[in-house]
Structure 1
Amino acid sequence: MPRLPRLPLTAVLPPPPSAGVVGDPGVCVPGGEFQRVSAERGVVLGGPAAILLQVAHPLVAEGVAVHSDYTSGPAHRLLGTLQAALTIAFGDTEQAHAIARHVGAQHARVRGTTRTDAPGTPAGTPYRANDPDLALWVHATLVWTARRVAERYVGLVLTPEQRERHWQESKPFARLFAVPERALPGSVAEFDAYVERTVAGLVVTDAARRVAGDVLTQRTTPPLPGVAALARSITADLLPLRLAVDYGIAPTRGRRTAAGLLRTGLRAARPVLPQRLAEWPHAEVSRRRVRASPSRTSAGPGGTAG
């Protein structure tokens, strides 16, 4: 078993971007439902579940297996994804576009053909990471898991109207990764139906199981006893049952108990937590940038707030 790199605990707190252009709202609706959900630190609990949903698509799994560095540094890769998502959600327009261009350039190199057969996907099937259908599925996993964690663990109560706005306000994020408007479900009901249909066709391949094993392994230094087991419990709780079983993390009584205790504790703590602890600092940087008036700063066009 190769010795895998470890991650300092400080790295799980990604720094916010610079303030950006004064008054620039960015690509996502300022203060909207998408930002409200994305601002919650607790949403990061859904990261492993989102990854496992993604790689249960055989074409995504093949791309990750051949081109990704999850095995050499899975925790680092997860945090890179988190930082990119936070920058797009809360950065100014250029910051969001810049990180999307960076990720898009990486994705442009991810292409090939599948090496083995999987149900519905014979060996030799071509794939490319910037395929609009695959990009839509990756986006959908992030939106779906974030909403599920926010409601289930953080305790946010989203009305049907807020769920609708959350989905609609996520669409600029998807468009940055070349998902065409015609491919995006028109309503949250259509989005949920799309996720349900796609999940029904997902297949947990050996490649997907290897990714899951890497993602759900404790990587911090100093090590935190019990973190890997808790991550498996949370992920089993969030995933559709069939997929959790196929990944070998069925929601056993012990896992259900652990996830339930964490849900209870987090939901009780959230109302009394200071905003600076409950939210990513990116959200406050965004609020200050949007509230600021360009006429009150010395920054010229394209400048930044001090």
Structure 2
Amino acid sequence: MRFNLRNRKDDRPERTCRLRRLPGLPRPVCGRCDRLEPSRRAKARRSARHLPTAENDDAHCLHAMPRVGEFPTYVSDMADPRTLIAGYVHDLIGSKSDTPGFVRVAAEPGLVPYGGAAWTVHGDFTAMMIGGVVALLTQMLHPVAAAGVWDHSNFRRDLIGRLKRTAQFIAGTTYGSHTTAGMMIDRVRRIHDHVGGTLTDGTPYSANDPAVLTWVHVAGADAFLRAYIRYRDPAMPGAAQDRYFAETAAVARALGATDVPLDRRGVAAYFQAVRPQLEATARSREIARILLTAPTPIPSTAPATRLMMEAGIDLLQPWAAAMHNLQIPFHRRPLVRVGARGVGAILRWSLNHERRHRPMMT
């Protein structure tokens, strides 16, 4: 992707905004000068940002905040691609790692241990992205979880916003202090107080049901850990895997979950016990369809996003994949796994470049 920084001569009587847009989105109009200078080349390029002049940024209109999917900084033709990729990732997930005090220091207590297993697993963006697909598809097999999303979520209109809020919650409860994590948990509990209703069979439900909270937590933790093992550290010791479940259980209990499993054996036994309560319904299938077919903010990232979705389907528990009737053809699975590892390597290469300024995701 190319970004041109055009210099205008001092003797030009006025400046006009040269706007460019993402294909498929409404053509942007500057809210300050209300001028648009379209061209074939401008329409063909994928950007929705004003570009400042080299002489005086104040003399040219600039958007104050980027939208989701836009690159967050002005860049020239020679910009480091790692900066572009990292900027897109942080904008997409709403990273707050540059906020003072958001990532706690070693001496500051938090819900999970500093530098522990959860700290490591949740720091890999590829594992969290693929694991997030697995987690949502698995969680929606519980009728109450699916009903809560269906009745009270705006996922149809703002799927990316919902995923961003989930990512921020996981980051805050993992890397934040007790105060930061507590504020996020209190906010979620207040939201849950208003989430309830009736299932299609007439059974009342509530988001504060401890059994449902346990299900949502276990399905998510299992998905994130298995994605991390497959796409980042296949040699992760079993003891470290057990520590991950034990560490993240503190967050689940703070939300109101009960009888949270603390190791791999407990998670396997839990899934075995809860499976009779699960079912694939019209709601769960529609939620899965929206997740797997949602458009990407930047069209050029569509192939990588599709690959992440396929990697998530490939990582589903066999019983969950069968219930959703989702599967990756056997001959394509090696290609999906190799491709996802390649995308992960590029993302880590880019995010490591930003590590000094963005310590959350590596």
State the TM-score, normalized to the length of structure 1.
0.79
Distance of aligned partners of 1:279 and 1:171 in 2 relative to their CA distance in 1, 3 Å threshold: farther
Q: Tell me what 2:137 maps to.
A: 52
Please say if 1:250 is aligned against 2:327. Answer: yes
Question: What is the Cα deviation at residue 243 of structure 1?
Answer: 2.7
Q: Tell me what 1:189 maps to.
A: 265
Q: Tell me what 1:198 maps to.
A: 274
Q: Tell me what 1:207 maps to.
A: 283
Give the alignment partner of residue 164 of structure 2, picking from 79, 83, 100: 79
Q: Secondary structure at the match of 2:255?
A: coil
Distance of aligned partners of 1:100 and 1:4 in 2 relative to their CA distance in 1, 3 Å threshold: farther
Q: Distance in 2 between matches of 1:61 and 1:219?
A: 22
In our comparison, the structure showing a higher alpha carbon Rg is: 2
Give the alignment partner of residue 18 of structure 1, picking from 100, 123, 126: 100
Superposition pairs of residues 23-102 of structure 1, within 5 angstroms: 23-44=107-128, 45-102=130-187
Question: What is the Cα deviation at residue 59 of structure 1?
Answer: 1.1
Please say if 1:134 is aligned against 2:212. Answer: yes
5+ residue gaps, structure 1: 116-122, 285-306
Conserved 8 A contact 1:67-1:110: yes
Higher helix share: 1
Higher relative contact order (CA 8 A, sep 6+): 1
C-alpha distance after superposition, 1:64-115 (max 9, x if no partner): 1111111111121011101111110000111100011111111111111102
Conserved 8 A contact 2:198-2:204: yes
Question: What is the Cα deviation at residue 142 of structure 1?
Answer: 1.7
Runs of 4+ in 1 over 6 A off after TM superposition: 3-6, 267-274
Q: Distance in 2 between matches of 1:264 and 1:158?
A: 16
Q: Distance in 1 between matches of 2:275 and 2:248?
A: 20
Distance of aligned partners of 1:18 and 1:135 in 2 relative to their CA distance in 1, 3 Å threshold: farther
Q: Tell me what 1:162 maps to.
A: 240
1:221 aligned partner, one-letter code: P
Conserved 8 A contact 2:245-2:262: no
5+ residue gaps, structure 2: 1-23, 27-66, 71-87
**Percent identity between the aligned chains?**
26
Conserved 8 A contact 1:217-1:228: no
Q: Distance in 1 between matches of 2:164 and 2:204?
A: 29
Question: What is the Cα deviation at residue 188 of structure 1?
Answer: 3.1
Distance of aligned partners of 1:282 and 1:90 in 2 relative to their CA distance in 1, 3 Å threshold: farther
Please say if 1:174 is aligned against 2:249. Answer: no
Distance of aligned partners of 1:272 and 1:264 in 2 relative to their CA distance in 1, 3 Å threshold: same
Q: Distance in 2 between matches of 1:39 and 1:264?
A: 16
Q: Tell me what 2:336 maps to.
A: 259
Between 1:96-105 and 1:267-276, the stretch displaced more is 267-276
State the TM-score, normalized to the length of structure 2.
0.67
